[in-house]
Amino acid sequence: MKEFKISLCFIFGLLLVLPMFSFAFDEHKTLAIGAQAPDFSLPGIDGKTYTLQSFRDAKVLVVVFMCNHCPTSQAYESRVIKLTTDYATKGVGVVAINPNNPSSLRYDELGYSDLGDSFEEMKIRAKDKGFNFPYLYDGETEVASNKYGPVATPHIFVFDKDRKLRYNGRIDDMENPAKTPKSLDALNAIDAILGGKEIAVPVTKTFGCSVKWAEKRIG
C-alpha cells in the first residue's frame, strides 16, 4: 500500500510538471510559412537602430540569425557576405540578428571562439570578418527572436516583397566551407521568389548551435 501511494504521488507530480515542459518547448515557436514578417527595433553595430521599414525597398528580405561564438555560424559568415554582394543589384536585402543572451553562454561553449555574444564583441567580429550587412543585437530582450523563433545559429528566413515568409531553415547543406554544398536551399528560394515561382522546398531542417535564450542564464 505504501509503494502504491508513492507511485500515485509520482504520477501526480509528473502530471503537474509535464505542462511546464510543454510550455517551454512551445515558447519559441518558429514562424510559419506564409506569415507576415514581425517588426523589430534593434541596435546595429554601426550605431543605427533598424526596423522592418529600414528594408522597405528590398524585393526580397533575408533575415539571418547568427552569432559570434558558434563554429557553425562562423563557417557560414563568408557565404552570407557573398550572398549579400551577389544579390545586392537584384534588390535583395540582407540583415543579420544575434539572438543570444550573453549570460546564457557557458564557458565550455567558447571553445571555438575568442569572442562571446555581447554587443561590443559583435562589433569586433564584424570588423575582423568584413561584414557587409547590418548586424543587429537582440540578446538583451530577445523580443524579435521570440517572434521569429530561430532554432539554431545560423537560421535563415526569406521574405517576399509583401514580407510574407516564403522560406526558413538552413542556408545550404554543407557546414564545412571548404567543401561544395549539394543543395543551395536559401539561394534557390531567393531565385524562385525573384522569378515569380513557387519554392520547391520551403522549409529545411537547421543545424548549428542552439539559441541561448534568456531563461538559460547562468547564475
Which CATH number does the domain housing residue 190 bear? Answer: 3.40.30.10
What is residue 21's predicted lDDT score, i.e. its pLDDT?
37
Q: Which of the four pLDDT bands, split at 50, 70 and 90, describes residue 212?
A: very high
Count of other CB atoms within 10 angstroms of residue 132: 14
Q: Per the domain annotation, does 152 fall within a domain?
A: yes
Which H helix or E strand runs over 92?
Answer: strand 92-98
Q: In which residue are the cell numbers 527572436 written?
A: 145
**Rounded distance between C-alpha atoms, residue 161 and residue 145, angstroms:** 21
Count of other CB atoms within 10 angstroms of residue 51: 12
Nine-digit cell at 37? Answer: 514578417
Q: Per the domain annotation, does 16 fall within a domain?
A: no
- CA 1 from chain center: how many Å? 52
What is residue 16's predicted lDDT score, i.e. its pLDDT?
40
Q: Per the domain annotation, does 100 fall within a domain?
A: yes
Q: Which of the four pLDDT bands, split at 50, 70 and 90, describes residue 157?
A: very high
Q: Look at 219 and 78; give whichever has higher pLDDT.
A: 78
**Rounded distance between C-alpha atoms, residue 21 and residue 19, angstroms:** 5
**Rounded distance between C-alpha atoms, residue 57 and residue 112, angstroms:** 37
Residue type, 35: A
- Using left for φ > 0, alpha for ψ between -120 and 50, and beta otherwise, residue 35 falls in beta
Q: Per the domain annotation, does 15 fall within a domain?
A: no
Which structural domain range is residue 139 located in? 28-216
Q: Per the domain annotation, does 23 fall within a domain?
A: no
Count of other CB atoms within 10 angstroms of residue 124: 14
Secondary structure in 3-state letters for 2-53? HHHHHHHHHHHHHHHHHHHHHHHHHCCCCCCCCCECCCCEEEECCCCEEEHH
Give me the percent of the chain exceeding a pLDDT of 90.
77
Q: Per the domain annotation, does 212 fall within a domain?
A: yes
Q: Per the domain annotation, does 146 fall within a domain?
A: yes
Q: What are phi and psi of 159, to 5 degrees?
A: -115, 145
Per-residue burial over 10-43, b if 16 or more Cβ lie within 10 Å, else e, is: eeeeeeeeeeeeeeeeeebebbeeebebbebebe
**Rounded distance between C-alpha atoms, residue 83 and residue 77, angstroms:** 10
Per residue in 22-61, pLDDT tens? 334 447 899 999 999 999 999 999 999 999 999 999 999 9
Nine-digit cell at 5? Answer: 501511494
**Rounded distance between C-alpha atoms, residue 139 and residue 213, angstroms:** 8
Query: Considering the chain, what is the average pLDDT of its residues?
Result: 88
* Global confidence as pTM: 0.86
* Total of domains in the chain: 1
Q: Per the domain annotation, does 3 fall within a domain?
A: no
Per residue in 81-130, pLDDT tens? 999 999 999 999 999 999 999 989 787 787 878 899 999 999 999 999 99
